[in-house]
């Protein structure tokens, strides 16, 4: 068969190659044929007892799954399963199935399928996307009940014994928590988007994943060799020998990188001349804080709280936010955790916060602009952050600050939140550090003025580069212009670091540049104080830093800052690496 190229949405990076495992939940025999029970009370009783036994089995399965999920994935994921367990006890669900068996005299299977369709149909007809998705939960549990009635165990994903690429229409919540990342190397689904449950789970398990591949997956047969590129969202089905070889090489390279990381993870980040460097991780959920700590992070440099909001059916309240922030603070055990207030808007919409579509969202109503427009929401978040500060070393940071007025207003809301907590006697860190993200060029230009008032800066290179160079890096036609080695960007970075040091403050970096080993000597030379990156990059950067001498890097930075093109900068950095014996 011909090679097939499938393009979907890349949601969890990594290159993996393995045979396909086609997974579709076996709906025990599909929809049951309509039938009627004999008008014998004994037959009805027997049918009700079958149904009851199926319910008990299901309940047990879900309780097991939930215990397992709580252990391996944290309370959030376990919540999905406990929600399904709860459904089984809902008076509008199981008792209605019993009623169908009794009143309509239909077999248990038919009662289950009938009620499930009825309830799922109601959810599907609702206007909220979140509610529509609940239909999948209902069908998931319906499938379980039918399987239990057929007295067969679900063909669990745990049964996979070889390394495979999982191919599925979509994964139900109770499926995803059975994924074993040792065996499921990658996954491709027909449905789903970047913020779907499957995507988030794949990322936290390190499974390369492409979702939303559409009907293209119909061309995949069980056992077909598939190469998945989870960053590019591309899959090659039945690749040529050369393509397969290339993917294998990239997969092995990734494995070597992970192994190198493991070796460096436990060591502190120290340069060749003995300077300690603060290396921290970027995280999106509290559960990732634990993983980051295990991977050798010296703290959390960026907690992107928006995932907490994007994965919720409704705006999470103070308690729920507090629990998540406290969990992250506790996982870091006294090491700093910088919590960034919600950075929504732009490409990150919230279904329950009715934000109008904008022609130019990246220059529009987003991040701190929403926070200051909706100070009620910002204050709830700040109260939760403050309360968590009693349980660890918590700092707070505001995104997208473009001028001093915004910072002062945000700081004002923080002070109000503190005052409220003081009045109610809640514990928090009175000296909590508050800083800003430097991602708008105007903030970098005004760094001297900001430095008198903020406790720290964190440079977000992704947006800083996009705004400084006026380049949308998602636009293929102009993406070549996107380069954090552009001299204009480097000047801004130097200006920010120097301004903070003059005022006795510090500067961190939480964008993609911090995780690039080529940039490491330059950033060290510029005097960057804290580096925050995806936890997977920590080992590479620790290793790089261990070979660097700070004085040599200072001279390098001085000479690099005189160069006038990104190309010249890269050349100088590559030459520096060659000179100290690195090969790229």
Partner 1 sequence: MITQTVTIRNKQGFHVRPAQQFSDRAGQYEAQVAVVTEDGRRADGKSMLELMTLGLEAGSVVTIEAAGPGDEEAVRALAELVDGKFGED
Query: What residues are annotated to the active site?
Result: 197, 510
23's enclosing H/E stretch is strand 15-23
According to the binding rule CB under 8 A, does residue 128 interact with partner 1?
A: yes
Helix 538-545 to helix 241-265 angle (10° resolution) is 60
Total residues at the site for partner 1 (CB under 8 A)? 25
Q: Is 5 in the site for partner 1 (CB under 8 A)?
A: no
Q: Which of 46, 126, 221, 478 binds partner 1 (CB under 8 A)?
A: 126
Q: Which stretch binds partner 1 (CB under 8 A): 127-135, 210-218, 291-299, 535-543?
A: 127-135
SS3 378: helix
Q: Is 244 in the site for partner 1 (CB under 8 A)?
A: no
Q: Name the one range near partner 1 by CB under 8 A: 16-24, 79-87, 468-476, 530-538.
A: 79-87
Q: What is the DSSP string of 137-181?
A: HHHHHHHHHHHHHTT-----GGG--S-EEEEES---HHHHTT--T
- Which of 21, 93, 484, 531 is in the footprint of partner 1 by CB under 8 A? 93
Contact 226, 501 (CB under 8 A): no
In the complex with partner 1, which residue's Cβ is closer, 53 or 318? 318
Determine which helix (DSSP H) or strand (DSSP E) holds 496, and give its type and residue range: helix 487-502
Least distance (Å) from partner 1 to the CB of residue 83? 8
Q: Between 96 and 125, how does the x/- string for binding to partner 1 read (CB under 8 A)? A: -----------------------x--xx--
d(CA 144, CA 61): 9
By CB under 8 A, tell whether 380 contacts partner 1: yes
Q: Which residues contact 35 (CB under 8 A, 6 or more apart)?
A: 106, 107, 110
As a whole number of Å, the end-to-end CA separation of the chain is 38
Instruction: Write down the least CB distance from residue 522 to partner 1, Å.
Output: 45
| Smallest separation (angstroms) from partner 1 to the CB of 206 | 29
Distance in Å, CB of 257 to partner 1, minimum:
40
Run of H or E residues at 493: helix 487-502
Contact by Cβ (8 Å): 247, 234: no
Residue 373 makes contact with partner 1 by CB under 8 A: no
**Binding region for partner 1 (CB under 8 A) out of 81-89, 291-299, 399-407, 506-514:** 81-89
Helix, coil or strand: residue 295: coil
Choose, by CB under 8 A, the member of 3, 36, 130, 259 that binds partner 1: 130
Among 103, 252, 319, 575, binds partner 1 (CB under 8 A): 319
* Cβ proximity to partner 1, 375 vs 547, nearer residue: 375
Q: In the set 42, 162, 376, 564, which binds partner 1 (CB under 8 A)?
A: 376
Determine contact, residues 125/134, Cβ cutoff 8 Å: no
CA dihedral for 111, 113, 115, 118, sign (positive or negative): negative
H or E segment to which residue 55 belongs: helix 41-73
Contact 263, 281 (CB under 8 A): no
Q: Which is nearer to partner 1, 5 or 130 (CB)?
A: 130
Rule CB under 8 A: choose which of 52, 317, 334, 373 binds partner 1.
317
Our CA angle for 492, 495, 496, nearest 5°, is 90
127 binds partner 1 (CB under 8 A): yes
Is residue 191 a contact point for partner 1 (CB under 8 A)?
Answer: no
Q: Give the separation between CA 98 and CA 89, rounded to whole angstroms.
A: 12
Query: Quick one: which of 86, 104, 256, 578 contacts partner 1 (CB under 8 A)?
Result: 86
Site residues for partner 1 per CB under 8 A: 83, 86-87, 90-93, 119, 122-123, 126-128, 130-131, 134, 313-315, 317-319, 352, 376, 380
């Amino acid at each position: 068969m011909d090679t097939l190229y499938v393009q979907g949405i890349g949601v969890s990076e990594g290159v993996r190659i393995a045979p396909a495992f086609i997974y579709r939940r076996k709906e025990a025999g599909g929809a049951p044929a309509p039938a009627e029970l004999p008008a014998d009370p004994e037959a009805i009783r027997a049918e009700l007892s079958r149904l009851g036994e199926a319910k008990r089995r299901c309940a047990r399965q879900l309780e097991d799954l939930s215990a397992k999920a709580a252990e391996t994935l944290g309370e959030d994921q376990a919540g999905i399963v406990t929600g399904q367990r709860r459904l089984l006890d809902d008076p509008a669900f199981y008792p209605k199935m019993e009623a169908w068996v009794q009143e309509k005299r239909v077999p248990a299977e038919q009662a289950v399928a009938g009620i499930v369709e009825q309830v799922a149909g109601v959810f599907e007809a609702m206007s909220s996307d979140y509610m529509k998705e609940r239909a999948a939960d209902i069908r998931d549990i319906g499938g379980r009940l039918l399987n239990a009635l057929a007295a067969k165990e679900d063909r669990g994903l745990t049964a996979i014994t070889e390394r495979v690429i999982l191919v599925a229409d979509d994964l139900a919540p109770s499926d995803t928590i059975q994924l074993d990342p040792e065996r499921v190397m990658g996954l491709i689904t027909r449905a789903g988007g970047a913020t779907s449950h499957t995507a988030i789970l794949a990322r936290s398990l390190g499974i390369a994943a492409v979702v939303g591949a559409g009907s293209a997956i119909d061309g995949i047969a069980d056992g077909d060799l598939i190469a998945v590129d989870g960053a590019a969202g591309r899959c090659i089905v039945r690749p040529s020998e050369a393509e397969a070889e290339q993917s294998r090489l990239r997969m092995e390279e990734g494995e070597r990188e992970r192994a190198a990381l493991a070796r460096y993870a436990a060591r502190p980040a120290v340069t060749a001349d003995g300077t300690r460097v603060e290396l921290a991780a970027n995280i999106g959920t509290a559960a990732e804080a634990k993983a980051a700590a295990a991977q050798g992070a010296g703290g959390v440099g960026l907690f992107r709280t928006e995932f907490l909001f994007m994965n919720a059916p409704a705006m999470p309240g103070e308690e729920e936010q507090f629990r998540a922030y406290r969990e992250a603070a506790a996982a870091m055990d006294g090491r700093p955790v910088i919590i960034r207030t919600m950075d929504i808007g732009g490409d990150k919409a919230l279904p329950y916060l009715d934000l109008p579509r904008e022609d130019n969202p990246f220059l529009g109503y987003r991040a701190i602009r929403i926070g200051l427009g909706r100070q009620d929401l910002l204050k709830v978040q700040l109260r939760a952050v403050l309360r968590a500060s009693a349980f660890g070393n918590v700092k707070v940071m505001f995104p997208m600050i473009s001028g001093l007025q915004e910072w002062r207003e945000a700081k004002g809301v923080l002070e109000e939140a503190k005052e409220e907590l003081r009045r109610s006697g809640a514990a928090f860190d009175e000296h909590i550090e508050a800083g800003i993200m430097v991602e708008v060029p105007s903030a970098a230009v005004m760094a001297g003025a900001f430095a008198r008032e903020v406790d720290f800066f964190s440079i977000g290179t992704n947006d800083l580069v996009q705004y400084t160079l006026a380049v949308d890096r998602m636009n293929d036609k102009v993406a070549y212009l996107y380069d954090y080695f552009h001299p204009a960007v480097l000047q801004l970075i130097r200006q920010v670091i120097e301004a903070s040091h003059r005022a006795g403050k510090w500067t961190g970096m939480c964008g993609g540049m911090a995780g690039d080993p080529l940039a490491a000597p330059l950033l060290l030379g510029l005097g960057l104080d804290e580096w925050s990156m995806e936890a997977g990059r920590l080992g590479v950067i620790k290793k790089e830093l261990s070979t660097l001498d700070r004085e040599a890097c200072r001279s390098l930075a001085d000479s690099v800052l005189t160069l006038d093109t990104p190309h010249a900068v890269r050349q100088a950095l590559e030459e520096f690496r060659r000179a100290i014996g690195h090969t790229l």
